[in-house]
Structure 1
Amino acid sequence: MIDSAAATEHSVCGMNCSPCAAPVAPTAAPTADRKRRPLLGPSWFAAVMGTGIVANAAVTLPWAFHGLRTAAMVVWLGAALLLVLLAVGYLRQRALRLHAGDPVTAQFFGAPPMALLTVGSGALLLGRRLIGLEAALAVDWVLWSLGTVLGLGTACAVPYLMVTRHRFAPDAAFGGWLMPVVPPMVSAATGALLVPHAPAGQLRLALLLGCYAMLGLGLVAALLVLAMIYGRLVHHEAPTGPVVPTVWIGLGALGQSVTALGALAAVAPSALPAPYARGTAVFALLGGVVVWGFAMLWLALATGLTVRTIRTGLPFAPTWWSFIFPVGACVTATGTLAERTGSEAFVWTAVVFYGLLVIAWVVVAGHSLRHAARNIWVSAYEED
C-alpha cells in the first residue's frame, strides 16, 4: 500500500506528475517514451477563488478607501480571465475520470464550482460599474446556477467515491477533504445577492430557502470533516510540506458560514414573514459570533502549524492558495459582524485581516506566476 501521507503530498502539487498519477494512471503505451506534459489539476482553480475573494472582500469592508473599488474591479477582471483560461485548459485535457480515480486529487473538484461562484458574485458587486446592472445580473445568474449545480454534484459525488471506491489509511484526513462540501455554503452566501433580484413570491422564497438548505448541508458536513481532521492531527504525526496550507481550508468553511448567515438575514425580509425575518437576524448575529469564535481557534491552530513548517521548509505548491480564500472568508465574516453589531473591534479586525489578505495574495500570486512560466518553458523545451 502506498503511504497515505506521501501520496497526499504528491497529489496536492496540482499536476499529475509521475508519483501522483502512478496509482491511477493506465499503463503507458510502449511507444510513449518521452515525458508527457503534466496534467493541470483542479486545485489550480483555487487561484481564481483566491483572486476573486480579494476583489469581493473589498466591497464588504466597514471602511471605504479611495480607489479601492477601482482596484478591486481590476482584480476581479483578472480572476474572470484566469477562470476562462483554466476552464479551457482543464476541459481540453479530458482528465476528469483520471482525476476522479485519485483519492486526493478528487477532493479538489470543489474548487471549480467555487471559482465560478466567486467570479459570478464579483460581477454583481464590482462588474456592474463596467458592464451595467442588467449584464452583471445575467452573468451572475449563469455562473451562480452553473457553480451551484456543479457544487451540489461534487458535494454528493466525492463523498460517494470516498465510501465506495477510494480507500484511506487512518492518517489520511487532511484539509482538502473540506473542498467538496464547502461549495454549497458558497452558493448560499452568493445566492443571497440574487434573492432581491428574483421574482417576488414563490420563486424568491424558494431561492432563499434553498440557500439556507445549502448552508446547512455545507456547514454540517464541514463540521464532520473538521472533526476528522482534528482527530488526525491529534492521533498521528503533524502534516508536512504542501499539505500544511490545506489546514487553512477549515477557516474558510467557518468564515463562509458566518458570511452566508449575515447575507441571507439581510435579504430575508423580502421573502419571509416579519417574525421569521427577525429570527434570521438574531440567528445571523448570535450564531455568527459563535462560529466566528471557533474560526479564530482554527486560525490559531493553522497559523501555528504553518510557522512550524516554514522553519523546516515549505515548498511552493498550488495548495499555497489555501491561505488566500480562507482569510478572505474571514474578512467577509468579520465585516458582516461589524455591520450587524457596530463593534469597533470587529471593524478593526476586518481591516487588519484584509491587509494580511492582500499581502498574502501578492506573495502567492508571484510564486504562481513564476511556477507557471517555468512549467511553460520546460514543456516547450521537451516538445522541441
Structure 2
Amino acid sequence: MATTLVRPRTVVPLASRTHKAPALRHLGPNWYASVMGTAIIANAGATLPYQVPGQRVACQIVWVLSAVALAVLLAARAGHWLHHRDQARAHLLDPAVAPFYGCLSMALLAVGGGTLIVGKDLIGTGAAVAVDAVLFTAGTATGLVMAVVVPYLMVVRHRVVASQATPVWLLPLVAPMVSAAVGPLLVPHLPAGQPREALLLACYAMFGVSLLATLLMLPLIFGRLILSGPLPLALTPALFLVLGPLGQSTTAVNQLADVAPGAVDASYAHALGAFAVVYGVPVMGFALLWLALAAAMLVRAARGGMGFAMTWWALTFPVGTCVTGAAGLARHTGLDAFAWLAAALFLGLVTAWLAAAAHTLRGLFSGRLLPRTA
C-alpha cells in the first residue's frame, strides 16, 4: 500500500507576514481631516463678507485640491481595507481611533458643499448639483451610521474611563451637523413644495441629533480637563474640535434661515430667521471663549515642545466653521463686527492650514507619517 506523506502546513506568525501596499497599513480614518481642512478654506473664503480680487479664483483652486485629495484618499482607504483588513478592524475597536470614522462623512460633505459654492463656476450648476447630491447623500448616510456605531462600540466593546475623554469623541457626533449646514445648498434646486420642506426639516432634525448628542458629551470632555489636567502635548490641538459643533451649528441655523422662505410658510420662515440670530449669537460667544482657552493651551503645549502630529488638522475645519458661522450672523444682523470677526478667523484658518499642510507633505515625503513597516 502506498503511503502518502502530508507536509505539515507552516504557519507564519502575523507579525512576520508581508503585506501588500505596506504604506497603506497605517493610513487611518484621521487622514480625512486633511480633506475637511482643505475644503473649508474654499467654502469659507467664498462666503466671506469681504472679497478681494482673485479671492474667488483662489477658492476654486483650493476646492479642486480638496476634491482631488478626497478621490486619492478614498482610493487609498479602499486599499487599506483590501490589503490590511486586520488593521482596519483594529481601528474600529480602538477607542482612540474609532471616532475618526466620522471624518469620512464630513470630508464628503465638505467637498460636496464646496462643489455648489465654488465648483459650479468650473463645472456648471447642473453638474455641481448632481455631484453635491451624491456626496451629500453618501456623507449624510455615513455620518448617521457612524453617529450610532461609534457610540455603540464605545459602550459595548471599548473599555474607556473618564480620564480618557478627549474632544476626539465629538467627531462622529458632529457629522450630522455638517449635513444640516450644507444640506440647505440643495434646497433651492428641489421642486417647490414638499421636497424642499422635507429636506429643510430633515436638516433641522440632524441639527437636533448632533446638538443634543454634543451636549451629552461636552461635560465629559471639560470634566476630564478639570479633574485630570491638560491633554498630552500631541493631542492639545484636538481642543479646537470643540469649536466644530459650535461653529457648524451656527452656520447651519443661518444657512437654513436663508432658504426657509422658499420652503415653508412665511410665518415659519420669519421665526427661523429670528432663531438663527437668537441661537447663533450666544453660541458664537461661547465659541470665542473656548477659542481663547484652546489657544492658551496650544501656546502652553508649544512652549513645552509640542511637535507636529496629524492632530494639527484640528486647527483648520473647526475654525472654518466659526468663519462661516460668523459670516452667517453678519448676513442676518447686518453688524460689521461679525464681518470683521469672520475675516479675522479666516486669516487664522489660512495660517493653520499652511502649517498643517506643509508639515504633512514633509512627513509624507520623508516616510515618517506612513512608514512602510508592519
Q: Same fold (TM over 0.5)?
A: yes
- The reply to whether residue 113 of structure 1 matches residue 100 of structure 2 is no
In 1, the alpha carbon distance for the partners of 2:140 and 2:14 equals: 39
Instruction: Sort the Cα spacing of 1:168 and 1:31 in 2 relative to 1 into closer, same or farther, 3 A.
Output: closer
Partner of 2:44: 57
How many angstroms does 1:98 deviate by?
2.2
Instruction: Sort the Cα spacing of 1:30 and 1:283 in 2 relative to 1 into closer, same or farther, 3 A.
Output: closer
Partner of 1:288: 280
Paired residue type of 1:191: G
In 2, the alpha carbon distance for the partners of 1:77 and 1:349 equals: 27
In 2, the alpha carbon distance for the partners of 1:300 and 1:28 equals: 50
How many angstroms does 1:377 deviate by?
10
Equivalent runs, 1:16-165 vs 2, <5 Å:
28-29=13-14, 31-32=16-17, 37=23, 38-94=25-81, 95=85, 96-165=88-157
Deviations 1:304-324 (A, max 9, x none): 111111100112111110000
Deviations 1:73-125 (A, max 9, x none): 00000000000111111111114422111111101001111000000011111
Query: Which residue among 308, 311, 326 is the counterpart of 2:303?
Result: 311
In 2, the alpha carbon distance for the partners of 1:52 and 1:75 equals: 7
Partner of 2:198: 206
How many angstroms does 1:301 deviate by?
1.2
How many angstroms does 1:34 deviate by?
9.6
Equivalent runs, 1:128-277 vs 2, <5 Å:
128-277=120-269
Equivalent runs, 1:335-354 vs 2, <5 Å:
335-354=327-346
After the TM superposition, which of the residue ranges 77-86 and 221-230 deviates more from structure 2? Answer: 221-230
After the TM superposition, which of the residue ranges 282-291 and 93-102 deviates more from structure 2? Answer: 93-102
Instruction: Sort the Cα spacing of 1:238 and 1:372 in 2 relative to 1 into closer, same or farther, 3 A.
Output: same
Instruction: Sort the Cα spacing of 1:365 and 1:378 in 2 relative to 1 into closer, same or farther, 3 A.
Output: closer
How many angstroms does 1:274 deviate by?
1.2
TM-score normalized with structure 1 length: 0.89
Q: Number of matched residues?
A: 356
Deviations 1:43-80 (A, max 9, x none): 01000000000010012111111000100000000000
Deviations 1:189-242 (A, max 9, x none): 000100111121212111110000000111111122111110000011210222
The gaps in structure 1 that reach 5 residues or longer are 1-26
Equivalent runs, 1:316-327 vs 2, <5 Å:
316-327=308-319
The gaps in structure 2 that reach 5 residues or longer are 1-11
Paired residue type of 1:288: G
Paired residue type of 1:332: T
In 2, the alpha carbon distance for the partners of 1:325 and 1:282 equals: 27
In 1, the alpha carbon distance for the partners of 2:337 and 2:263 equals: 32
Maintained 8 Å contact 2:167/2:242: yes
Paired residue type of 2:98: A
Partner of 1:362: 354
TM-score normalized with structure 2 length: 0.92
How many angstroms does 1:294 deviate by?
1.1
Deviations 1:125-167 (A, max 9, x none): 1111111000011000000000000000010110111111111
Instruction: Sort the Cα spacing of 1:33 and 1:82 in 2 relative to 1 into closer, same or farther, 3 A.
Output: closer
Backbone CA RMSD of aligned residues: 1.9
Paired residue type of 2:42: A
Instruction: Sort the Cα spacing of 1:52 and 1:30 in 2 relative to 1 into closer, same or farther, 3 A.
Output: closer
How many angstroms does 1:28 deviate by?
4.5
Deviations 1:317-351 (A, max 9, x none): 11110000011111101111111111111111111
Instruction: Sort the Cα spacing of 1:157 and 1:132 in 2 relative to 1 into closer, same or farther, 3 A.
Output: same
Which protein has the larger Cα radius of gyration, Structure 1 or Structure 2?
2
Instruction: Sort the Cα spacing of 1:376 and 1:294 in 2 relative to 1 into closer, same or farther, 3 A.
Output: closer
How many angstroms does 1:39 deviate by?
1.7
In 2, the alpha carbon distance for the partners of 1:171 and 1:30 equals: 31
Q: Calculate percent identity across the aligned residue pairs.
A: 47
Instruction: Sort the Cα spacing of 1:285 and 1:101 in 2 relative to 1 into closer, same or farther, 3 A.
Output: same
Deviations 1:162-200 (A, max 9, x none): 111111122011010010000100000000100111121
Secondary structure class of the residue paired with 2:50: coil
Secondary structure class of the residue paired with 1:199: coil
How many angstroms does 1:250 deviate by?
0.5
Partner of 2:3: none
Paired residue type of 2:132: D
